[in-house]
Every structure is written in C-alpha cells, then in structure tokens.
C-alpha cells in the first residue's frame, strides 16, 4: 500500500554518446524523460535537434510494415482462438531482434514487392466490381439486338434510353401526344419497349432525321433519359465479354494471392522490424526534447528512488556522463507509480480509472481490495457462479502466462471475486439458486437441499439488509479513519478534530441510539439492549460530536456568528451520511436479484415435469437462463462495487489528481524482450 518514491535524475553527457545512453535508458524502461522549456536555465547556449521528419518517417515505415502484416493475415491467415488476444506479445531474444534489424533492407524490399502485388490485387477487385456493375446495368437491355451506342443512319435518328415509370408503347405515345399539344402533329415514331420494371421502362425510339429535334423535345419533356452505357456491341455480347474479362481477372487475383502467400515465412520478421521502427520513432521523439550543444546533451526526468543509484553508477562507469540524483522539491508533483502486494495490485486498474493519488494522498489500494472482493461476492453470492468465475480466470491465467500486465491484473481481480462469490454462496446456500432442490424434487421425487452455512437471504431479507448496512458503516469508517490518519500525519490536529473525530462521535452516537430504540426493533426485529446509563452515554457521544461540528465546522470563518452558522450547516451534512449508508442496501438488492432470477429460471425449466421432453427443455432453459443471469448480475456487481468505492469510500478522504508514471521504454506492438540492468 504505497506510492513508489521518485527522485529527479539529471544527465549531462557527450553528444556522440547520446543515442547509446538513450538506448540504454529505453532498454531499462524506468526513467520518465521530461522536457526542459527553451531558455530555462540554459542561458541560450543550448538548442534542440529537429527530429519531427525522422519520427514521421519511422512511423510511416512501421505503418507500412503493419500493412504488410495485415496483408499476410488476409492471404495466409494464422488460425487463432477467441482467447488468442490474451496470449500477449511474442518473446524474442535481443539476438533474434537485432538479426532481423541487420537484414532490414532485404525485408523492406520484399515488403515493397508484396505490397505492389496487393495493389494489383486491389485493382483487380475494383475492376471486377466495376464490370459487375456494368453487367447489372445491362440487364434491362439484354433483349436489344443493336449496340447501345447506335444512334441511327443517314435518314433515321435512334433514341435509346428509359423513362422512370412503367408503361407500354401506347401509353408512351399518349404521353408524347399530350406533351406536343392538342393541335400539334406528332412526328412519325417507331417505338419498342425492350423491358419494363416497376420504376423503369427501357425502350428505343426511331424517327426521321427531319423530326429529330421535335422528337427529342417531346421525349425530354416526358422524362426520357439516354442510356449511359456506350457498348459498341449488343448488350448480350457486351455482357458476355465482361463475364469473360471477370473470369480472367479472377484467375489473375488467384495467382496474385498465391504470390503474396509465398511471403508468409516473413511474418515474424515483418513484425519485429515494425517494432524496431516504432522504437526508433520513440527514441528520436525523445531526442528532439533534449537540450544540446555541439558537444554535449542534457536530460532530466524522474526515476524510482530504489533504482536511481544503480543507474547513475552504470552510466558514469560506461559513458562520459555526469549524473545527478536529487530529492524532489516540496511543491513538486511527481508522477505516480503504485507498488502493492500481489493480491492488492489486481485492483490498481480500478483505482487508476478513478484517479491516481495526489501528492498528499495515500494509496488506498490494499484496503480497497478487501472491500472490493467482499462486496462483489456478496452481490453475486452464488457458489456455482463463483466456481465458474474462479475456474475460468485460473485457467486463463495458467494458459496465457505472458498476457498483458493490465489484463493479468484484471483476471487476478476477477479470480479473487470468484472465490468470494463462491464463499458467500456457500454461506447463503445458493448453487444455481435452488437448483439441487428443484432437480431432486422434480426428477427424482426426493428433495435434497444445498444447506446454508449461515442463513438464506431470500428467507430473511431484513437480516441481510442489517448486515449490508453494517458492512457499509465499517467501509465508511475505514475511509474516515484514513482521513484521520492523513490529518495526524500532516500534523493538522484541528482538521482531525473538526472533520474526523466529530463525525465519528456524532454518527456513532446516532447509530447506537437508533439500534437500541423500539423503532429499530419494530423494523428489524432485533434490538441492542442498553441500560439507561448506556442510552445516556450514546446521547452524550452524539451531542459531543454535534458540538464539535457546531464549533469547528466553520472554523475558516473569522466572524463568530458566521462560524456558528457554518457549523450548523455542517451538522446538516448528517443527511449525506444517511444517504451513503443506505447506498449499501444495494448489497442486499443485487444479492436477492441473483437468487430470485436463478430460482425463476429453475422453475421455468421444470414446467414440463419428469419426461424426456421435460429434461431437454430443462437443459436448454438452464443453460440460457443461468448464462443470462450470471452475465447480467456479474456486470451489476462490478458496476455497483466500483460505485461504492468511488462515491462512498473515496468521498470520505481521497482527492486523486496524480499523473501516471510514463517511463521511456520500448512500446512495442508485436514482440517484447526482458528489460534488465547491465
């Protein structure tokens, strides 16, 4: 439960060794390099190297290699399972890595050839699509026995096109006559409908050359559109030629695909080389942020305190460098790197999603871990669901030892949540709801139960509600206790008394008064029996807390009247405490929801009784229903457990606002190698 202590590292070295020093720091991956604003303590003697063009070129080359890898995956795919994404990056030795780097020119040349083949393949695909579109456009004209580009003879003008509606020759003639007017003479026309569809009529119109203009005017007025296809053969012949061309292109595509697939043996080398250029782009991006002169360069940043001395000694022993390690200034906000035990580190992602600790915060991960796991299990609370989660997460962790660090933490968190769910399920007697009782009664005629080691929440929900609220009070008190520790650590005694002790006394006194009252007994059926003196003590505790709040709640104000008014308003804040405590009733609500839905699923599954169809239907309903119930309530448990941490628990003491530690390291996409100090 701690934030790694940081120190500032400053390096001044020879410019000739700059790349070597940076490569070593990148190899270690434990230094966050900081930019030094131009002119700050540099007295105008330093400048910055322009590396943007080199960075852009390296990234462009890496993207080109990624494109080549995607190309191979398209034409020579590697079979992967649904869980293959959990496998992590492929490990390579540095010898393997730099062997590929040494042969990068040959690999890049082959990549260019492969991508040229891919471009030809893409061109063929585009051309095939265009030809198929043209064939589709020719379909209405297949019965036409003249070329679509034909426009007539020396004495005859031909119009080939379509109307945007369905009609025969007679109806079209009537439409043209109407366009010409009642007194106008309609030119002699020869019309033939080639094909008709719901919203189109394809036809040819022939007229004498002398009537060409009038005929065209009438046709245009009626909505006639010329055909856009200019084939010099009949539509049928044109379509057959296009089909033949498509067949040729398909063969060409097949040949290109086979030629591309030949490069599949280069897949790993392409990925390694892509990561090499990715690493170089990161290095040159960092170089561009370093002040330098003709002979020296300067680097500054953050490093974990426990690694600083060893790094300094190595750099000074192997390079002409001067390395200084300094403690951080009092007002300096260092980047945050969390360090927790193997159990607690699994919920670091939950904390990071909310915000990392600020400078004066403490890391609450270790405390949060236990509440998180307990609350998640309490909300899901079914032994079978817990076993499924546990086995699934354990299997994934064993099967994929190199999965990403973040994903591994999440799997470990859900593994612990699965164990907690199973434990609560045993305590509450839930195994797929009441599955054992239902099966034994329906199909074997002899009821067998899964006994609860503690009690069954569905049978005693009020008892479950009381325990849920009790867990909530404990959770909130831990949060308030952490705030008290921080106040005492920073010697803020007034804040401890006014913001922590006062609330402990006030809320505790009120709670003790409530649970010892007849009102509480009427609701919960249980009561804390206190002697008269005990009741007076509880009242005194609550009164002492209220007085402290009244006197110190507005201690920032100088006006005594305003101070009292602010203190009174602070006492009103007890309503937020009531709201926070009641929020933990969701532990009851989600726990009951899981059990009730599971029982409903079981009852629906046994509706057809003891028969072969009944067994089949039961199996189907069981699989579908419990899968859905598990998915919905596991998601609900995750969301609401997070909420209880973020809103109720963190709201008592945690400010967050820290920035994550981002070390300069090889941020690769495909491969990784162990980073070790030399």
Higher-scoring residue by pLDDT: 173, 180:
173
pLDDT at 678 over 50: no
For the chain, what is the domain count?
A: 4
415 with 496, same domain: the answer is no
pLDDT confidence of residue 323: 94
Q: Which domain-ending residue is among 523, 557, 583?
A: 583
Q: From its phi and psi, is residue 95 left (phi > 0), alpha (psi between -120 and 50) or beta?
A: alpha
Helices (H), 448-526: 461-489, 493-495, 502-515, 518-524
326 with 355, same domain: the answer is no
pLDDT at 640 over 80: yes
d(CA 629, CA 308): 51
Average pLDDT value for residue range 365-392: 96
368 with 450, same domain: the answer is yes
Alpha carbon 282 to its chain centroid, in Å, reads: 24
Q: What are phi and psi of 5, to 5 degrees?
A: -70, 135
With 0-12 / 13-18 / 19 or more C-beta atoms within 10 angstroms meaning exposed / middle / buried, residue 206 is middle
Q: How confident is the model at residue 676 (pLDDT cuts 50, 70, 90)?
A: very low
pLDDT confidence of residue 677: 42
Span 85-121, pLDDT tens digits: 788 888 999 899 999 999 999 999 999 999 999 999 9
Average pLDDT value for residue range 11-30: 92
Q: What DSSP string runs through 140-207?
A: GGTT--S-TT--B-SSEEEEEEEESS---HHHHHHHHHHHH-SSSPPPPEEEEEEEEETTEEEEEEEE
Contact yes or no for 117/72 (Cβ under 8 A): no
Residue 54 covered by a domain = no
Within 10 angstroms of residue 201's Cβ, the number of other Cβ atoms is 22
pLDDT at 377 over 50: yes
Residue 166 covered by a domain = yes
Q: How confident is the model at residue 42 (pLDDT cuts 50, 70, 90)?
A: low
Give the range of the structural domain holding residue 301, as residue numbers without chain letter: 1-47+290-335
348 with 359, same domain: the answer is yes
Q: Which domain-ending residue is among 306, 335, 364?
A: 335
Residue 514 covered by a domain = yes
State what percent of residues in the chain have pLDDT above 70.
97
pLDDT confidence of residue 554: 85
25 with 42, same domain: the answer is yes
d(CA 447, CA 376): 31
pLDDT confidence of residue 332: 87
Residue 106 covered by a domain = no
457 with 589, same domain: the answer is yes
351 with 435, same domain: the answer is yes
Q: How confident is the model at residue 177 (pLDDT cuts 50, 70, 90)?
A: confident
Within 10 angstroms of residue 349's Cβ, the number of other Cβ atoms is 14
With 0-12 / 13-18 / 19 or more C-beta atoms within 10 angstroms meaning exposed / middle / buried, residue 214 is middle
Span 57-70, pLDDT tens digits: 999 999 999 999 99
- Cα 509–369–393 angle (5° rounding)? 145
Q: How far is CA 597 from CA 173, 457, 458, in A?
A: 71, 14, 12
Check which CATH number belongs to the domain holding 3 and give it.
3.30.70.2170
640 with 503, same domain: the answer is no
Residue 240 covered by a domain = no
Average pLDDT value for residue range 521-547: 82
527 with 451, same domain: the answer is no
Place of tokens 């999965």: 403
444 with 382, same domain: the answer is yes
Residue 128 covered by a domain = no
Check which CATH number belongs to the domain holding 224 and give it.
3.30.70.2750
348 with 418, same domain: the answer is yes
pLDDT confidence of residue 174: 87
With 0-12 / 13-18 / 19 or more C-beta atoms within 10 angstroms meaning exposed / middle / buried, residue 545 is buried
d(CA 359, CA 658): 7
Q: Give the pair of three-digit tokens for residue 13.
A: 């070295």
Q: Which domain-ending residue is among 566, 583, 600?
A: 583
Span 245-296, pLDDT tens digits: 999 999 999 999 999 999 999 999 999 999 999 999 999 999 998 998 889 9
Q: Coil, helix or strand for 327?
A: coil
pLDDT confidence of residue 449: 86
Residue 24 covered by a domain = yes
Average pLDDT value for residue range 7-31: 93
372 with 519, same domain: the answer is no
Residue 590 covered by a domain = yes
């Amino acid at each position: 439960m701690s934030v790694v202590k940081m120190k500032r590292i400053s390096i001044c070295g020879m410019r000739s060794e700059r790349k070597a020093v940076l490569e070593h720091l990148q190899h270690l991956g434990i230094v966050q390099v900081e930019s030094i604003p131009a002119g700050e303590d540099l007295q105008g003697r330093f400048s910055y190297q322009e590396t943007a063009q080199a960075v852009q070129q390296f990234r462009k080359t890496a993207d080109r290699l990624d494109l080549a890898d995607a190309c191979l995956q398209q034409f020579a795919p590697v079979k992967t399972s649904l869980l293959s994404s959990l496998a992590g990056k492929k490990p390579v030795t540095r010898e393997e890595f730099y062997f590929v780097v040494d042969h990068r020119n040959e690999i890049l040349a082959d990549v260019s050839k492969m991508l040229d083949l891919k471009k030809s393949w893409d061109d063929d695909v585009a051309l095939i699509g265009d030809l198929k579109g043209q064939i589709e456009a020719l379909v209405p004209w297949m019965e036409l026995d003249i070329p679509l580009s034909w426009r007539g003879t020396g004495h005859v003008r031909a119009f080939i096109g379509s109307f945007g509606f369905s009609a025969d020759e007679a109806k079209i003639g009537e439409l043209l006559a109407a366009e010409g007017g009642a007194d106008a003479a309609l030119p002699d026309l020869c019309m033939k409908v080639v094909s008709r569809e719901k919203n189109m009529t394809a036809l040819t119109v022939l007229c004498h050359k002398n009537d060409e203009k009038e005929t065209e005017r009438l046709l245009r007025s009626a909505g006639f559109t010329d055909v856009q296809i200019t084939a010099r053969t009949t539509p049928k012949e044109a379509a057959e030629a296009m089909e033949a061309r498509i067949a040729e292109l398909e063969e060409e595509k097949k040949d290109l695909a086979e030629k591309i697939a030949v490069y599949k043996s280069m897949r790993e080398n392409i990925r390694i080389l892509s990561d090499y250029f990715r690493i170089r782009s990161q290095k040159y991006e960092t170089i561009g942020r370093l002040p330098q002169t003709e002979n020296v360069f300067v680097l500054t940043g953050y490093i974990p305190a426990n690694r600083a001395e060893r790094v300094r000694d190595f750099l000074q022993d192997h390079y002409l460098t001067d390395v200084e390690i300094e403690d951080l200034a009092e007002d300096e906000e260092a980047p945050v790197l969390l360090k927790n035990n193997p159990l607690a580190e699994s919920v670091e992602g939950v904390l990071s999603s909310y915000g990392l600790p600020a400078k004066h915060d403490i890391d609450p991960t270790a405390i949060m871990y236990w509440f998180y796991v307990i609350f998640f299990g309490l909300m899901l609370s079914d032994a079978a669901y817990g076993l499924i989660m546990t086995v699934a997460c354990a299997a994934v962790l064993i099967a994929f030892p190199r999965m990403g660090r973040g994903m591994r933490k999440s799997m470990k968190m859900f593994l612990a949540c699965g164990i907690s769910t199973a434990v609560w399920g045993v305590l509450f007697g839930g195994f797929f709801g009441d599955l054992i009782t239902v099966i034994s009664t329906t199909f074997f005629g002899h009821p067998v139960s899964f006994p609860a080691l503690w009690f069954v929440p569905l049978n005693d929900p009020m008892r479950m509600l009381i325990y849920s609220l009790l867990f909530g009070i404990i959770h909130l008190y831990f949060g308030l206790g952490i705030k008290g520790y921080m106040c005492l650590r920073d010697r803020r005694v007034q804040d401890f008394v006014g913001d922590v002790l006062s609330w402990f006394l006030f809320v505790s006194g009120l709670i003790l008064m409530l649970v010892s009252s007849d009102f509480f007994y009427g609701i919960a059926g249980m009561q804390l029996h206190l002697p008269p003196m005990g009741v007076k003590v509880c009242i005194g505790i609550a009164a002492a807390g209220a007085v402290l709040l009244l006197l110190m709640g507005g201690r920032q104000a100088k006006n005594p009247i305003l101070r009292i008014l602010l203190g009174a308003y602070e006492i009103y804040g007890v309503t937020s405490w009531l709201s926070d405590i009641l929020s933990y009733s969701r532990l009851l609500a989600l726990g009951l929801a899981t059990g009730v839905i599971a029982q409903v699923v079981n009852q629906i599954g046994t509706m057809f009784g003891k028969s072969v169809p009944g067994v089949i239907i039961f199996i189907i309903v069981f699989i579908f229903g419990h899968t859905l119930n598990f998915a919905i309530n596991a998601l609900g448990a995750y969301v609401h457990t997070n909420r209880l941490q973020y809103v109720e628990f963190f709201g008592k003491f945690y400010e967050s606002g820290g920035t994550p530690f981002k070390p300069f390291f090889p941020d690769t996409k495909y491969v990784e190698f162990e980073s070790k100090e030399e």
